[in-house]
Amino acid sequence: MSRIAMPVVVAANDLFDGDPVWMTPGGNWSRSLADAEVIGDPAGAEARLAAAMAQADRVVGAYMAEVRPGPFGPVPVDFRERVRARGPAPFALPAQAAE
């Protein structure tokens, strides 16, 4: 199924608010990529992905994302995944009322 290079993390979106989430070593979900379990072997990755997909009551669209180790945790290889992990740019919001 998966042809992506190891290591990987398992990513998804939270069912209730759509937030990007990553699977932790304990099988829970974190909103921080730094908490994600980094999986090095393909069989282990497939098993974790299957476990993630079984949690349809918590997450949507689980998939594997290729990462490389970084000083503060895993760093996605794919550009889109890096943007996803970083969150949207803190744009200036349109003008609000004075108070």
Give residues in contact with other proteins (CB under 8 A). Answer: 13, 15-20, 56-57, 60-61, 77-80, 83-84, 87-89, 91-97
In whole angstroms, the minimum distance from the beta carbon of 41 to other proteins comes to: 25
Rounded Cα distance between 92 and 44, Å, is: 42
Smallest distance from other proteins to CB 32, Å: 14
CB of 44 to other proteins, least distance (A): 24
